Structure 1
Amino acid sequence: MGDSITAGYKMTALSVVYAVEERGYAFTTGGLGNWKNVTTIANLLREFNPDLIGISTGSGDYKSQAAGFNVAVRGAVDEDMLVQAKYLKKKMMDNPDIDYEKHWKNQSTNEITYPPDVEYIKTLQDKLPLSTPHPCEINPDKPLWRSETRPTSVHKLRPGDIDVIAAFGDSIVSANGARENNALGIFIEDRGVSFLGGGQGTWHEFTTLPNIIKVFNPHLTGFATGRGLLSLSSSGELNLAGPGTRDGDLIIMAKEFVKKLRTERTYDFNNDWKMLSILTGHNNICTFECHDKELHSPEAHKKNLQKALDYLYDNVPRLFINIIPIIDPTINPRTTSGVVCSIIRRLGCRCLFTESTVEEGVLKLSSIVRQYQEAEKDLVFGGLYDGRDDFTVEWQPFFRALNAPQRIGEPEDPRMLELLEKEASIWTMDCFHFNQRGHMTMAIQMWNNMLEPVGNKTETFDRFLINKYKCPTKEHPYLFTKKNSETFFSEEHQ
């Protein structure tokens, strides 16, 4: 339904007399050709359902056979929508190929219902009974979960001492599409199951970093619950990530974070221990770096991250910050295939296609990823944030295991391929974002990194623990920092 735009109206170069409604090319219902030569919503949907009904196949007005169910009229105004709706209903009811009551409009045949009868992608982790104890709860060497009094040093911080949890980042951190079974679901922000900022339910059904920490402190606050845009929902809490955001937006998130901590009664600004995790830069490197190398260089990435960290260092007491290195987006073409992945990677990571071959594009982009990661690491270990005993910035490098080989033709890590084959369903349908099952996997890696001393953290697949947890012990009851890691290596305790 609509006006001349929806009707595919255009004019030839000859004269306005030759104005024609090219409905077969309309971005909504156009069904000429296929998505490769005529990219429309209808042609994209046909990749999932070849028997899609209602597509437009040629030119003509809304009454023509070629119009399908495109009932848009050139010159229509909003008051005309009711007329178009009634006409559309009549066309559907008169069409013998349609089961008017049962068919889902825009997505069904007599063989498909919504949601699918057969779960063709396993998006969710396997649930455990709520009575199942967390592995760390049955550890015979377990220490106190929470200090008897609030610690004054970040280097003596137990997992249960964390009172508030937050996250900054892009669509990976806002968990876009995490529980969706179709490509269009990537637009749905599912913050409640984000591995860094989601706290919906418990770790038994949604394993996230906040839900793991809730085992140690059931009164944890700040985590997100449910789906929805951050700006339209209070359930986002302190998961301040936003789809499409870049590293330059971190300072905006930092200021909003401080504002919320200061003004919302949920938080004790001066006394609560806060944990903040930051993962960003994917939109810079995938969409903008190849067009403006100076503005989106590794050094610029470092400066934008530093700007946010400087602000937090000057304004927030009792803060433990995790910096997670950017994920190498070339993991998509290196390990996945299929029409949907091919479409979305061209739309979502244009900088991958600046070279003459995909292999050369992978090599070039992955090299820039490593430079971004080194810039992040240099900032963390540069000593800028070591001057306060209640503040630390730590490096959790587990995502570096996804980095591409550094030469064309060099084989991938067989352990990574084995994991991705075994856990084939950790991706959403765009083959880059994590589905909820993937968020579970990454939450456990994140937790394990935090329980490993600096200088000996897992960042290769030979040390990955799939669905296995590291736990605090009496020898190392605290979250590892640069400072207490030195003590651990020299004295074998923190």
Structure 2
Amino acid sequence: MVKSIVLNVLSLFTLVSIGFAKNVSDVKDCPALSRRTPSISVNDLRADDIKVIGALGDSVTAGFGIMGFDKNSPDFIASQKSKLEYRGLSYSIGGDGGADTMPNFINHFQPKVFGASVGSRLAGICTADKCNESHKPRIDILNGALSGAIAMNLDGELDYLISTMKSTKRIDFENDWKMINIQIGSNDMCGACNTSYMDQVTPEKYGDYVDSVVDRIQSSIPKVIVNLLSSFDLSQLFELSAANSQYCVTRKDETGDAGCSCAANSEGLKKMKEFSKGYDQKLLKIYKKHRSNKSNSFAVAYQHCNLEFSKFSMEFFRFTTLDCFHPSLKGHTWLSKAFWNQLFLPQSRKPNRLLFNTEETIYCPTDSDRISID
């Protein structure tokens, strides 16, 4: 009897020590991680090791149009709202209080994490041949994304990130562990039919640009993990929005829907689908390249984002009413959870397809969980 009680107590102690993995609706309900000596290797990173977070990308990462477009608002208010980037709500780099974002999830485990963008601002204009839009450091912080950017523009965004990291007193540039989320590709695939720069957005060029910026991060920023986030296959999205015209505020120009030249016809949509697949193959190749070149201070992670838009509902996913192209607040909320939950899974266990779920929960990492780079 005594032996049985002792064994039960020991078993309970072991389970409590190891910790149970759990999923919650609010990250505040996740148990804190036990204190430990900060990791000295990128192969042993927990969520609480990350002290700095940054991002590179396009209008999705910049948070363009998240709050939508109210058809009943006065023209001036509606027109101003349609030009805003809600950077503090961006799923991968937003830091507004109470928002479901990856930086806020990290903040629960590491309150000193720095870099998340806050608030909102007017969107800048970045094009393939001219991307000199200036950042707003007090709002953007380490959100280097620019609306309209393609992979070719990542190098300029990285210039901003590096200079800001080095000049920010809250950042120990040499010793703090950093995570940089990169998602790019929407404007690239839309430009596949734009004769003025279509040669710059092929899968080969896309891969070269992303690979180059990842190599530059490795050589210029100490103690960092680059988190490559898969692009969206937008070809399905335009077919979905066409069937929900009552929900979308019409925003077309002579090149196609929402300024996407390839969305104007079936051949263009087919090309977008091919390019999207090609982009992800290039991202996976970059991930595998760095996986085979092990380092203690640098690594690349890759997160799938194979979305079957044809199975989504505009009302549930809530693409912004502004153009039915950019994710709304509900979309960003879901994306933050979907990508966060993948962070701790080895590549072999990451989901091949992501299905939108209004009740998506947040995974609570335990003491034994590590940010996966395998």
Q: Same fold (TM over 0.5)?
A: yes
Q: State the AA in 2 paired with 1:302.
A: G
SS of match in other structure, 1:383: helix
SS of match in other structure, 1:401: coil
- Give aligned-pair identity as a percent: 24
Render the CA deviation track for 1:348-380: whole Å, top value 9, x for unaligned. 211222xxxx44432332122111111121121
SS of match in other structure, 2:289: coil
Report the counterpart of residue 36 of structure 1 in structure 2: none
SS of match in other structure, 1:394: strand
2:194 maps to 1:287: no
2:334 maps to 1:334: no
Report the counterpart of residue 155 of structure 1 in structure 2: 43
2:187 maps to 1:187: no
Report the counterpart of residue 197 of structure 1 in structure 2: 93
SS of match in other structure, 1:348: coil
Q: State the AA in 1 paired with 2:69.
A: N
Q: Which runs of 5+ in 1 are unaligned?
A: 1-132, 404-411, 483-494
Rounded to whole Å, the distance in 2 between the matches of 1:138 and 1:199 is: 18
**Equivalence map 1:214-363=2 (5 Å):** 214-228=107-121, 231-232=135-136, 234-291=138-195, 292-336=197-241, 337-338=244-245, 340-341=249-250, 343=252, 346-353=257-264, 358-363=265-270
2:373 maps to 1:477: no
Rounded to whole Å, the distance in 2 between the matches of 1:346 and 1:223 is: 31
Report the counterpart of residue 57 of structure 2 in structure 1: 169
Bigger Rg, structure 1 or 2:
1
Q: State the AA in 1 paired with 2:33.
A: W
Q: Which residue, out of 267, 273, 277, partners 1:366?
A: 273
Change (3 A) 1:346 1:138: closer
Contact 1:286 / 1:349 at 8 angstroms: preserved in 2?
Answer: yes
SS of match in other structure, 2:143: coil
SS of match in other structure, 1:271: coil
Change (3 A) 1:462 1:265: closer
Rounded to whole Å, the distance in 2 between the matches of 1:208 and 1:249 is: 24
Render the CA deviation track for 1:209-261: whole Å, top value 9, x for unaligned. 11111111122110111012563451210011111111111111222212111
Rounded to whole Å, the distance in 2 between the matches of 1:328 and 1:200 is: 28
Shift of the alpha carbon at 1:180? 3.8
2:297 maps to 1:379: no
Contact 1:322 / 1:393 at 8 angstroms: preserved in 2?
Answer: yes
Rounded to whole Å, the distance in 2 between the matches of 1:260 and 1:449 is: 28
Shift of the alpha carbon at 1:430? 0.6
Shift of the alpha carbon at 1:385? 7.5
SS of match in other structure, 2:226: strand
Q: State the AA in 2 paired with 1:305.
A: V
Report the counterpart of residue 32 of structure 1 in structure 2: none
Change (3 A) 1:383 1:320: closer
Change (3 A) 1:273 1:233: closer
Contact 2:227 / 2:302 at 8 angstroms: preserved in 1?
Answer: yes
SS of match in other structure, 1:218: coil
2:297 maps to 1:390: yes
Change (3 A) 1:177 1:462: closer
Change (3 A) 1:134 1:148: farther
Shift of the alpha carbon at 1:197? 0.9
Contact 2:66 / 2:328 at 8 angstroms: preserved in 1?
Answer: yes
Rounded to whole Å, the distance in 1 between the matches of 2:58 and 2:153 is: 10
Report the counterpart of residue 56 of structure 1 in structure 2: none
Rounded to whole Å, the distance in 2 between the matches of 1:386 and 1:463 is: 35
Shift of the alpha carbon at 1:386? 3.0
Shift of the alpha carbon at 1:429? 2.3
**Equivalence map 1:74-153=2 (5 Å):** 145=33, 147-153=35-41
Rounded to whole Å, the distance in 2 between the matches of 1:186 and 1:324 is: 26
Contact 2:238 / 2:263 at 8 angstroms: preserved in 1?
Answer: no
TM-score by length of 1: 0.61
Report the counterpart of residue 439 of structure 1 in structure 2: 332
TM-score by length of 2: 0.79
Rounded to whole Å, the distance in 2 between the matches of 1:428 and 1:453 is: 36
Render the CA deviation track for 1:298-326: whole Å, top value 9, x for unaligned. 01001111111111111111111111111
Contact 1:147 / 1:161 at 8 angstroms: preserved in 2?
Answer: no
Rounded to whole Å, the distance in 2 between the matches of 1:265 and 1:430 is: 39
